[in-house]
């Protein structure tokens, strides 16, 4: 922190203006205990900054000269909540990124003799690029899977027998169904581990169980974001949870400081209390953010894990990004709550969609579109509606589509279609 904070003040006009506005100097921050006096930074501030100072914004610490000398790659936020924010990363960041991800993979249990198949296009996906540079660092072979359709990727699995799949949770489900449609059982394939990112999975028991049962493989997860030096910030614990104990995601506290804050007050929550994730990065040349609101709900603990690690960990992993909050007639919920309801009913397909509309009387209504073999089955639809009412405390209409008809994506699945403003 004593190195990063002066670096931010000297190299980021965005942070320097913020320091000056708050009447602070880098000398005021001497240790982790001083973090709380620095207000949390959220995405809206960065969106406003990049709108004022296009195309890069002033939050970056990379100048055009540095970008020309040792620039590596440009990544951008998805822009789902506003103006996309660009982040220029250098080769200094690439090396740090590769070692952090390699460390996470080794902790998960990746070893010599394995090979990975990255089932993703490489364009916008920081997760895929980070996995590839880490595999290179570990000297583990990989098969890049960009530009292929699902059947071609299924043939890669059958022919070259990778032991590790890298994809989003949604695509892991889709790929398993494609294998089945070709007459193959994914559980009988060479795949032993599925490494996912981009969407919550480990923290949703029904989704994790469905993927693991389909593939006969263990599911593990990387956690991070584009903004805060997008190497892995958290990785799944390799120890088998004790009966009744939730999964855990370990955080790399020596290179990133993780906290949780209250969603309303933005004040730091006590250990063991649920809150929104906040990260301060300590090892990035290009994006050393100070208390950036990543915004996933988590419960952090510093208790020693059964695997022996003592870094902070998220008990139950991460689920429910604050950006995804649905407000329907004053009742607030997250898409993951709907996902848990849908997965709780046997026979429902892997895909679902949340459609928000406003009826002729001006009332906001929610319809859940699912897949089912008998898409006229009203009894099953009522069961899904009951599960939603239990978890979300709201009534929703449930309609079924035939199996395999809802859209699939290899990137982050967009499951909410809000048509209230149209």
Residue 143 confidence (pLDDT) above 90: yes
The answer to whether residues 319 and 205 touch, using CB atoms and an 8 Å cutoff, is: no
292: β partners: 41, 279
| DSSP line for 251-291 | E-TTTEEEEEE-TTT-PBPPTTSEEEEEEEESS-SS---SS
- CB 235: neighbour CB atoms within 10 A? 26
Structure token digits, residue 113: 């003799």
- What was the pLDDT predicted at 225? 87
Residue 79 confidence (pLDDT) above 70: no
Query: Whose CA is closest to 381, among 391, 371, 390, 392?
Result: 371
Question: Angle between the 91-108 and 126-137 helix axes, to the nearest 10 degrees?
Answer: 80
- What was the pLDDT predicted at 24? 85
The pLDDT tens digits of the residues spanning 333-348 come to: 778 888 888 888 888 8
- What was the pLDDT predicted at 279? 94
Q: Between 222 and 413, name the one with better pLDDT.
A: 222
Residue 329 confidence (pLDDT) above 60: yes
Residue 40 confidence (pLDDT) above 80: yes
Query: Whose CA is closest to 338, among 373, 390, 380, 295?
Result: 390
- What was the pLDDT predicted at 37? 85
CA–CA separation, 36 vs 216, rounded Å?
45
Domains of the chain, first to last: 91-322 (3.40.50.12780), 326-418 (3.30.300.30)
- What rounded mean pLDDT belongs to the chain? 88
- What was the pLDDT predicted at 244? 66
Query: For residues 256, 261, 267 and 273, what is the CA-based torsion angle, rounded to 10 degrees?
Result: -110
The answer to whether residues 215 and 172 touch, using CB atoms and an 8 Å cutoff, is: yes
- What was the pLDDT predicted at 29? 65
- The DSSP code for 229 is -
- The DSSP code for 41 is B
Residue 321 confidence (pLDDT) above 80: no
Task: Return the SS3 of 352.
Answer: strand
CA–CA separation, 384 vs 368, rounded Å?
9
- What was the pLDDT predicted at 240? 67
Task: Return the SS3 of 129.
Answer: helix
Residue 409 confidence (pLDDT) above 80: no
Most confident of 1-10, 215-224, 337-346: 215-224
328: β partners: 331
- What was the pLDDT predicted at 1? 85
The pLDDT tens digits of the residues spanning 264-310 come to: 899 999 888 999 999 999 899 999 999 999 988 899 999 999 889 99
The pLDDT tens digits of the residues spanning 91-136 come to: 999 999 999 999 999 999 999 999 999 998 777 578 889 999 999 9
Separation in Å, CA 385 to CA 61, 396, 416: 49, 6, 17
CA–CA separation, 79 vs 293, rounded Å?
16
Residue 154 confidence (pLDDT) above 50: yes
Q: Between 358 and 311, name the one with better pLDDT.
A: 311
- What was the pLDDT predicted at 80? 47
- The angle formed by the CA atoms of residues 93, 195 and 113, to the nearest 5 degrees, is 90
159-168, 273-282, 359-368: range with lowest mean pLDDT: 359-368
Residue 81 confidence (pLDDT) above 60: no
Structure token digits, residue 126: 């920081």
Quote the distance between the C-alpha of residue 302 and its chain's center.
22
Q: Which residues contact 364 (CB under 8 A, 6 or more apart)?
A: 328, 329, 356, 357, 358, 420
């Amino acid at each position: 922190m004593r190195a990063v904070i002066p670096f931010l003040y000297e190299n980021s006009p965005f942070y320097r203006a913020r320091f000056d506005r708050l009447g602070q100097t880098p000398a005021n921050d001497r240790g982790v205990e001083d973090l709380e006096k620095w207000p949390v930074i959220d995405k809206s501030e960065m969106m406003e900054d990049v709108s004022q100072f296009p195309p890069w914004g002033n939050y970056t610490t990379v100048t055009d000269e540095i970008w020309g000398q040792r620039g590596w790659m440009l990544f951008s936020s998805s822009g789902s909540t506003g103006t996309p924010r660009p982040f220029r990363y250098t080769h200094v960041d690439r090396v740090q990124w590769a070692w952090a991800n390699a460390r996470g993979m080794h902790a998960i249990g990746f070893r010599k003799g394995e090979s990975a198949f990255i089932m993703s296009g490489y364009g916008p996906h920081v997760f895929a690029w980070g996995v590839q540079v880490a595999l290179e660092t570990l000297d583990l072979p990989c098969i890049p899977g960009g530009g292929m359709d699902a059947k071609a990727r299924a043939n890669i699995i059958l022919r070259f027998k990778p032991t590790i799949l890298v994809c989003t949770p949604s695509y892991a489900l889709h790929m398993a169904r494609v294998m089945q449609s070709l007459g193959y059982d994914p559980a009988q394939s060479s795949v032993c581990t599925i490494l996912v990112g981009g969407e919550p999975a480990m923290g949703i028991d029904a989704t994790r169980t469905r993927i693991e049962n389909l593939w006969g493989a263990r599911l593990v997860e990387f956690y991070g974001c584009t903004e805060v030096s997008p190497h892995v910030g958290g990785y799944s614990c390799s120890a088998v949870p004790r009966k009744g104990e939730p999964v855990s995601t370990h955080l790399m506290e020596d290179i990133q400081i993780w906290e949780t804050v209250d969603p309303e007050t933005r004040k730091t929550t006590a250990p063991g209390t649920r809150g929104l994730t906040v990260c301060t990065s300590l090892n990035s040349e290009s994006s050393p953010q100070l208390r950036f609101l990543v915004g996933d709900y988590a419960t952090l603990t510093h208790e020693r894990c059964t695997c022996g690690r003592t870094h902070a960990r998220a008990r139950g992993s991460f689920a429910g990004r604050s950006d995804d909050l649905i407000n329907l007639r004053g009742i607030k919920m997250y898409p993951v709550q709907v996902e848990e309801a849908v997965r709780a009913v046997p026979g429902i397909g892997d895909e679902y969609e949340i459609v928000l509309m406003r009826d002729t009387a001006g009332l906001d209504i929610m319809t859940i579109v699912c897949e089912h073999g008998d898409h006229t089955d009203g009894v099953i639809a009522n069961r899904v509606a009951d599960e939603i009412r239990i978890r979300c405390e709201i009534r929703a209409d449930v309609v079924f589509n035939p199996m395999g008809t809802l859209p699939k994506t290899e990137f982050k699945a967009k499951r909410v279609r809000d048509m209230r403003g149209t």
